[in-house]
């Protein structure tokens, strides 16, 4: 059995032009040396029914044997406020905040706030394994005291928490439920005596949602992470009562001139950043680590607004998770200066070795080489759907979600990668997954190993897309790779260099900038072949400050593996409304003629020609295809070219008036189930056996300035290109269209 995970790594950046440098960050817990070879990926799918793995060794300067060592990943988000005056000088103090615990039953200690030194001296406010809170103080000489609350906090219920130490020798811990009725009241007040005159540790940062344990270089290390929201954390230099603190914390804007106010962290400021802003006069600003969720509702959110931009004072909370992971932070092992004569393409670092038990190791780190920006090398561009790859990065959906097997209509087939992720959650999961506390993952980054964005990965997205590359190579078409990252940043000008741009099997995640770029490209006469399904579906944001980091928020529409909290459907990165593009007035039909309508994972269907396919204006498309020929009654994904996720045309959703629906696969069977936004009321008869709107449409329409759009509306299409030695009608139609799209003659007659 080939081991694909004994050595892992990531490339930074994941997309580069020839002449640019890519650093590789590797780690292995069992190997001390690996074989390194840079390969260009033609086909990344090892399925023996298809072309098989096709990787071309490039002979790079970094090829050879290289040492590798273990580098840990430390998941868990928290806020860190550097140690500054007056933190070490405090005598008596009070800490207070609003708390929304999401995993009080974790069975382990979770830190709300702490200022704890190397030997435990200092203070910490914790939620214990029994979901009760406690404040612990410890003197430098080891004397400790604590006070515990006597009622456990409830899951997903706001509670106000006030903790204080009086240097006269008293501890106080009070909690007040914000909805104290119907069994939800966990309010209580508890006191205890403590050593007097404690001195706090030096050189110790203050942390929220975790306890600081030291430094690894310039990165803080933390433990005992909290799961849930913290709103309006405040620190006062006196032992105040719970009532006093409650009154102070209810004020959204604290009195900055209050001499007792040490820190008032306003988490509604800098929501698009990792900044933790202090509104008190001391300016004890800090930062967040590992991307906890921002732009989330606070304890005072009352439904008046749904966007944090409309009323930020109701979004003064951060949702922390003990499994948040944004940046593995591994030291780079070596760098590749991409040679200027390398062709654009999907590339990978191939890592080989032998496990202690003798099994071979063959692991990959995926990356992409584009043409130099502004210097197209080929008339065709294939889009590396990096946003979608990030959205799906390290998906554990099939491991964690009970609907997976029913959705797939058959036994779940796991790869060794899936088994690895089952045990190694520290890699950080995908935006399809839920955190351990049940909330959805809204951020994904490329600063970590991504197991399903490389050869041999699970057969979705990346691997399926390589079937298009394989086909382009087989047919001798020169192509450049352009990545979603580039389209987002460079816009329409990048696309405009190409006579034809091909989007792959599943370009599902689009930012507004990416959408606008395609819209402008198509209006400007560009030719767009969309060879996939469920494209242009979810709206995303890219982090303006952190390359290769996207945000996805799942609202109450669309096929969603989790549902976001009310009032949290606006991206923290940009403030844009999240959810489906359809909900934002841009159904995919408007851009590419077709849009997502159904999932069908049990079997794939074939297309039949429709009368429009005999229109002389699209004769080019069907050259060599018989009038009654079944199109794609074969393929590597469930035996057909129309399957997995499928799209249909619909004028009411924006399909253009001049669209020609040339073929359809509308006999999908009961395994075809419509996406939720496709029906208004539940009724029997929604499935593909009874519902003609569950279908994949093949379409063409002309655009302004002589351009055109061709779409197949199916993820399975690309996996039907290679059967019969590429001499099949799916391959033929694709080639007919591409050749015509490369012909500059405008599409006329529409």
Q: Which residues bind other proteins (CB under 8 A)?
A: 1, 46-49, 156, 398-403, 405-406, 409-416, 418-419, 422-423, 425, 436, 438-439, 456, 562-563, 565, 602-603, 669-671
Given the DSSP bridges, would you call strands 538-542 and 509-511 parallel, antiparallel or unpaired?
Answer: parallel
CB of 589 to other proteins, least distance (A): 27
Residue closer to other proteins by CB (options 405, 478) is: 405
Strands 293-296 and 261-266: unpaired
Closer residue to other proteins in complex, CB, 391/427: 427
Q: In terms of CB distance, is 233 or 672 closer to other proteins?
A: 672
Instruction: Give, for 135, the enclosing helix (H) or strand (E).
Output: strand 133-138
DSSP helix/strand/coil, 310: coil
CB of 427 to other proteins, least distance (A): 12
User: Whose Cβ is closer to other proteins: residue 216's or residue 405's?
Assistant: 405
CB of 671 to other proteins, least distance (A): 8
Sheet-wide strand order for 642-649: 642-649, 594-605, 672-674
Least CB distance from residue 609 to other proteins, whole Å? 25
Q: How far is the CB of 406 from other proteins (least distance, A)?
A: 5
What gap in Å lies between CA 111 and CA 429, rounded to an integer?
A: 23
Min separation Cβ 7 and other proteins, Å = 19
On whether the CB atoms of residues 292 and 102 are closer than 8 A, the answer is no
Residue 558: closest CA among 645, 664, 428? 645
Which residues on neighbouring strands pair with residue 137, listed in sequence order?
123, 145
Query: Which of 251, 422 has the CB closer to other proteins?
Result: 422
Shortest distance, position 688 Cβ to other proteins, whole Å: 11
Provide the Cα torsion 306, 309, 310, 314; round to 10°: 70
Min separation Cβ 45 and other proteins, Å:
8
Closer of 3 and 266 to other proteins (Cβ): 3
As a whole number of angstroms, the distance between CA 434 and CA 103 comes to: 13
Number of C-beta neighbours around residue 405 at 10 A: 12
Nearest Cα residue to 293 out of 193, 408, 434, 165: 434
Closest CB to other proteins among residues 231, 418: 418
- DSSP-derived letter for residue 630 is P
The whole-angstrom separation of Cα 728 and Cα 736 is 12
CB of 227 or CB of 712, closer to other proteins:
227
CB nearer other proteins, residue 218 or residue 423: 423
Count of CB atoms within 10 A of residue 616's CB?
A: 7
Query: In angstroms, what is the minimal distance from the CB of 322 to other proteins?
Result: 11
For other proteins, the closer CB: 30 or 244: 30
Which one, 128 or 436, has the nearer CB to other proteins?
A: 436
* Residue whose CB is less far from other proteins, 306 or 399: 399
* 118 phi/psi in degrees, rounded to 5: -65, -35
Minimum CB–partner distance for residue 476 and other proteins (Å): 27
| Residue spans of alpha helices (H) in 682-749 | 729-742
CB of 416 to other proteins, least distance (A): 7
**Distance separating alpha carbons of residues 222 and 611, to the nearest angstrom:** 65
Which residue carries 């404040």 as its tokens? 135
- Residue 282 C-beta: closest distance to other proteins, Å: 37
Closest CA to 54 of 444, 468, 445: 468
Residues 6 or more apart whose CB falls under 8 angstroms from that of 619 comprise none
Sequence-ordered alpha helix ranges (H) in 502-644: 512-523, 588-592
Would you list the DSSP string of 236-294? ESS---HHHHHHHHHSSS--TT-TTEEEEEETTTTTTSSEEEE-STT---EEEES--EE
């Amino acid at each position: 059995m080939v081991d694909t995970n004994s050595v892992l790594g990531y490339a930074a950046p994941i997309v580069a032009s020839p002449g640019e440098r890519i650093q590789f960050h590797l780690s292995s817990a069992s190997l001390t040396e690996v074989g390194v070879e840079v390969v260009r990926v033609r086909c990344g799918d090892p399925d023996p029914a298809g072309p098989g793995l096709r990787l071309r060794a490039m002979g790079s300067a970094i090829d050879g044997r290289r040492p590798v060592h273990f580098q840990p990943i430390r998941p868990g988000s928290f806020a860190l406020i550097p140690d500054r005056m007056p933190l070490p000088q405090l005598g008596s103090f009070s800490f207070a905040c609003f708390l929304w615990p999401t995993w009080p039953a974790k069975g382990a200690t979770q830190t709300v706030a702490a200022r704890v030194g190397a030997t435990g001296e200092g203070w910490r406010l914790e939620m214990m394994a029994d979901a009760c809170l406690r404040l612990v103080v410890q003197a430098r000489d080891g004397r400790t005291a604590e006070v515990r609350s006597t009622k456990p906090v409830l899951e997903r219920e706001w509670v106000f928490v006030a903790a204080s130490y009086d240097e006269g020798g008293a501890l106080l811990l009070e909690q007040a439920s914000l909805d104290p009725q119907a069994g939800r009241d966990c309010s209580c007040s508890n006191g205890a005596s403590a050593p007097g005159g404690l001195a706090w540790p030096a050189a110790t940062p203050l942390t929220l949602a975790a306890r600081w344990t030291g430094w690894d270089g310039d990165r803080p290390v933390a433990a005992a992470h909290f799961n849930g929201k913290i709103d309006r954390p405040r620190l006062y230099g006196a032992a105040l009562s719970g009532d006093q603190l409650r009154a102070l914390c209810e004020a959204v804007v604290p009195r900055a001139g209050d001499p007792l106010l040490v820190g008032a962290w306003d988490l509604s400021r800098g929501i698009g950043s990792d900044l933790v802003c202090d509104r008190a006069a001391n300016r004890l600003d800090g930062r967040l680590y590992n991307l906890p969720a921002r732009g989330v509702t606070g304890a005072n959110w009352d439904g008046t607004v749904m966007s944090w931009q409309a009323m930020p004072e109701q979004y003064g909370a951060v949702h922390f998770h003990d499994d948040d992971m944004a940046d593995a932070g591994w030291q780079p092992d070596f760098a590749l200066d991409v040679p200027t004569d390398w062709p654009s393409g999907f590339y990978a670092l191939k890592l080989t070795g032998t496990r202690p038990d003798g099994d071979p190791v063959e692991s990959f780190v995926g990356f992409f080489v584009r043409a130099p920006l502004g210097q197209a090398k080929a008339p065709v561009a294939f889009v590396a759907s990096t946003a979608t790859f990030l959205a799906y990065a390290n998906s554990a959906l099939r491991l964690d979600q009970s609907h997976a097997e029913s959705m797939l209509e058959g036994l779940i087939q796991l790869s060794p990668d899936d088994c690895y992720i089952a045990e190694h959650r520290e890699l950080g999961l995908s935006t399809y997954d839920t955190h351990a506390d049940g909330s959805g993952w809204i951020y994904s980054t490329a600063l970590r190993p991504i197991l399903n964005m490389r050869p041999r990965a699970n057969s979705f997205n990346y691997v399926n897309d390589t079937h298009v590359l394989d086909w382009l190579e087989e047919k001798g078409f020169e192509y450049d790779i352009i990545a979603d990252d580039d389209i987002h940043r460079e816009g329409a000008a990048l696309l405009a260099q190409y006579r034809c741009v091909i989007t792959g099997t599943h370009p599902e995640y689009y930012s507004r900038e990416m959408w606008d770029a395609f819209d402008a490209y198509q209006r400007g006469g560009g030719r767009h072949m969309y060879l996939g399904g469920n494209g242009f579906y979810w709206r995303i944001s890219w982090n303006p400050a952190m390359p290769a980091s996207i945000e996805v928020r799942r609202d109450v529409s669309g096929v969603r593996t989790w549902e976001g909290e009310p009032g949290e459907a606006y991206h923290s990165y940009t403030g844009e409304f999240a959810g489906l593009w359809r909900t934002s007035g841009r159904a995919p039909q408007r851009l590419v003629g077709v849009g997502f309508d159904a999932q069908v994972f049990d079997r794939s269907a074939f297309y039949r020609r429709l009368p429009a396919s005999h229109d002389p204006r699209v004769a080019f498309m069907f050259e060599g295809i018989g009038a009654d020929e079944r199109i794609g009654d074969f393929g590597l994904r469930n035996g057909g070219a129309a399957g997995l996720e499928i799209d249909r045309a619909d004028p009411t959703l924006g399909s253009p008036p001049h669209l020609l629906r040339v073929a359809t696969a509308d006999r999908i069977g009961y395994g075809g189930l419509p996406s939720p936004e496709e029906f208004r009321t539940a009724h029997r008869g929604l499935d593909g056996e009874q519902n003609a709107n569950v279908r994949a449409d093949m379409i063409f329409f002309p655009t302004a300035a002589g351009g055109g759009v061709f779409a197949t509306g199916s993820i399975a299409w690309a996996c039907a290109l290679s059967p019969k030695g590429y001499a099949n009608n799916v391959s033929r139609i694709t080639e007919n269209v591409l050749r015509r799209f490369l012909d500059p003659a405008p599409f006329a007659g529409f």
